[in-house]
Structure 1
Amino acid sequence: MSTVIESLKQFWYFTGFANASWQNLVMILIGILFIYIAIKKEWEPLLLVPIGFGMIVGNIPMFPGLNIGIYEDGSVLNILYQGVKQGWYPPLIFLGIGAMTDFSALISQPRLLLIGAAAQTGIFGAYLIALALGFDPNQAGAIGIIGGADGPTAIFLSSKLAPELMGAIAVSAYSYMALVPVIQRPIMLALTTKKERLIRMPAPRQVSQKEKIIFPVVGFLLTAFIVPSGLPLLGMLFFGNLLKESGVTRRLAETARGPLIDVVTTLIGLTVGASTQADKFLSLTSVKIFALGLTSFIIATTCGVLFVKLWNLFLKDGRKINPLIGNAGVSAVPDSARVSETVGREFDPGNHLLMHAMGPNV
């Protein structure tokens, strides 16, 4: 009888119930909340469902030494997590993004590039605030990128500059990408007048197939020579776009923007979520990162809209830009551009801003 009791005790010690803490339960509830929001609100479900379930997976309490946790060398989760930690996944996602992206709006209206540049002020604003809060320069840079770029870029940069903060940075970046309509719309309405929201921009010119083929080659050469360290992301982005636009590699483009990006998005979401173990994630540092990420988004959106308003002072009627596309400088592609379209049509159902907004968005 005593042997049976000892066996049951030993079994109990290995269960999650015996090793659970309130922090684990909090993170599991946050994961469930992510899944609920993704399904109920349909906010970036392709990202939030894997991340939310990953949070649940990563916070199942376990007896130490079972070699199944994401931070235990050699475990299955740890091997999958290397794609995040070593920066393998983001370039593959950028390959798919390139194969999905139409750069026609930017090619036809290159001036819209300036709006995208103005919105990057959010990065530098958050960077300076992060330094003031005590983060070192590398950490501040990794945090600042949240507001000016998308999830894969934030993961890639944080894996190089601040791997110890990658979980919080990645979850923050993807969370705010999902919340783009909630964050940006009030800022856009607060900073624009009704007259400005009704501005109709001239239709962009038709872009030839030749231009579309030349653009990824020239774009890659220019950006890679300016910032060689961005080659893994930029190279894959423009390569994917060349596959799309060349017209002779349709199968490769369809694979890149379909099965490949779906598989990698699933893995990156699940492993990023699983990396948010309670003992590493529930801290004042994580709270600061989430606050700075939101601040970065707010600054970027504000500066994008205000830049267009300022620019319009120097433009003639008929050439003016609707400031509602200023928010699209935040590189949540194509979510920010969709917000420009949605808000614009609230005030003028016939005013389609999507193609204009895709210029600064990409």
Structure 2
Amino acid sequence: MDLFLKSMGDMLADSGFAAFFQGDGWKSLIMIGIACILMYLAIVKQYEPLLLLPIAFGMLLVNIPLGGVMDYPKMVFEPMQNGAGHFPELLVNTGSETFTVYQNLEKQVNGGLLYYLYQGVKLGIYPPLIFLGIGCMTDFGPLIANPKSFILGAAAQLGIFVTFLGALAISALNIPGLTFTPEQAASIAIIGGADGPTAIYTTGKLAPELLGPIAVAAYSYMALVPVIQPPIMKALTSKKERMVVMEQLRPVSKTEKIIFPIIVTLVVCCLVPSATPLIGMLMLGNLFKESGVVDRLVKTAQNELMNIVTIFLGVTVGATASAEKFLNPQTIAIIFLGLFAFCVGTAGGVLFGKLMYVFTKGKVNPLIGSAGVSAVPMAARVSQKVGAAEKPTNFLLMHAMGPNVAGVIGSGVAAGVLISIFG
């Protein structure tokens, strides 16, 4: 009985439960609490559950003490015994002395499961594959029918560059724990594009040490689009502007839809080569969809491939949010800077929509400018909802989809610019 109790005591002493109460183990408890909150938002509130749920569970896994899911592979040296049970010896004679050197066996210990899956993030593989799936699900027809939407999509990227300058300004204050390198500032700023894969891709290239907090911030704000955007939209527009009914978009031919991704790829990727992985895969997926000749590939990219990559991306990104990396003043600053970036991006799109309202003599509803952030299609739905609240018969969804898909291209271009400068 004593032996059993001693064994149980030793097992508990070496368990993760005991580790919670040793050193900084309490920090892991806080991170597990945060993970549970994110899972609640994903499951109960259904805020971006497809990515928020795996991210939250990845965060839970990495903060379980001794779990080792993100352990790096390493080399260890073990004593090597000969057949007689003795360590082989090597005598080294220096001329005046003789030393005994014991032979050792070099052995590799494999890393954790999520460490290997994380290489798809680190090497920039997962985000472009996500863009391939998005391209297969995206209809660029509203953008082709109304090319002015490109301007609104570009205007909504204002939050990225304003936040980049803001992060550098904070760093200039030299507050301990609140300094950012230009690479880190660029990674934080990309949250303003409201595009999770782009934020992950950019951060993986420029500041992988910040991947956890930036990914959590990016997807949290994407999930909170219906909460964050409406107050900004209403504050910057008048009732008269919100009630504008826009003309029906012209039909777009199949030929236009096929040529569009090819032209965008050539123009954008030649202009900003660093954006080629993201924009190229986005347009490839769209060409698959619009060509009508590769239905099997479209279905695979939309479903099986997209789902598999989403699981790997979400869980491994969440697993970068360990307690020692997440619980610090930088993370708090990133959360607030990300919110600021998102708000400025929304405001930039709406304000430019107001300019278009003036120049077109009231033919453009400024609300569609808020959809310029690339949270597809949620931002476009928010534009529709706010407009319908003022005038129930007003149907803005298709008009808002133009800036919305333009925002996807715009955030990819912005990421390419930042990577080309700081990468």
TM-score > 0.5 by shorter chain: yes
Give the deviation of 1:352 after TM superposition.
Answer: 1.2
**Residue in structure 1 matched with residue 235 of structure 2 by the alignment:** 190
**Cα distance per residue 1:263-298 (max 9 Å; x no partner):** 111111111112111111111111111111000001
Aligned residues of 2:194 and 2:222 also touching (Cα < 8 A): no
Out of 124, 128, 144, the position equivalent to 1:87 is 124
2:35 equivalent to 1:31:
yes
Q: Which has the higher contact order (CA 8 A, sep 6+)?
A: 1
**Residue in structure 2 matched with residue 334 of structure 1 by the alignment:** 377
**Residue in structure 2 matched with residue 22 of structure 1 by the alignment:** 26
Q: Residue 47 of structure 2: SS of its match in structure 1?
A: coil
Alignment of 1:151-230 (within 5 A): 151-230=196-275
Q: Distance in 1 between matches of 2:112 and 2:60?
A: 17
**Residue in structure 2 matched with residue 131 of structure 1 by the alignment:** 168
> Which amino acid counterpart does residue 159 of structure 2 have in structure 1?
G
Mean Cα deviation higher: 25-34 or 239-248: 25-34
Q: TM-score, normalised by structure 2?
A: 0.82
Give the deviation of 1:3 after TM superposition.
Answer: 5.1
Q: Residue 248 of structure 1: SS of its match in structure 2?
A: coil
2:77 equivalent to 1:42:
no
Q: Distance in 1 between matches of 2:149 and 2:230?
A: 20
5+ residue gaps, structure 2:
74-110, 172-179, 406-423
2:393 equivalent to 1:350:
yes
5+ residue gaps, structure 1:
none
> Which amino acid counterpart does residue 337 of structure 1 have in structure 2?
A
Between the two proteins, the alignment pairs up a number of residues equal to: 356
Give the RMSD, CA atoms, in angstroms: 1.4
**Residue in structure 2 matched with residue 234 of structure 1 by the alignment:** 279
> Which amino acid counterpart does residue 298 of structure 2 have in structure 1?
A
Give the deviation of 1:2 after TM superposition.
Answer: 6.4
Q: Distance in 2 between matches of 1:9 and 1:129?
A: 53
Q: Distance in 2 between matches of 1:259 and 1:355?
A: 28
Q: Residue 133 of structure 1: SS of its match in structure 2?
A: helix
**Residue in structure 2 matched with residue 311 of structure 1 by the alignment:** 356
Out of 317, 320, 339, the position equivalent to 1:294 is 339
**Residue in structure 2 matched with residue 102 of structure 1 by the alignment:** 139
**Cα distance per residue 1:4-40 (max 9 Å; x no partner):** 4553343123311111122111111111111111222
**Residue in structure 2 matched with residue 360 of structure 1 by the alignment:** 403
Aligned residues of 2:69 and 2:114 also touching (Cα < 8 A): yes
Alignment of 1:259-278 (within 5 A): 259-278=304-323
Q: TM-score, normalised by structure 1?
A: 0.95
Give the deviation of 1:41 after TM superposition.
Answer: 1.6
Aligned residues of 2:150 and 2:403 also touching (Cα < 8 A): yes
* % same residue: 56
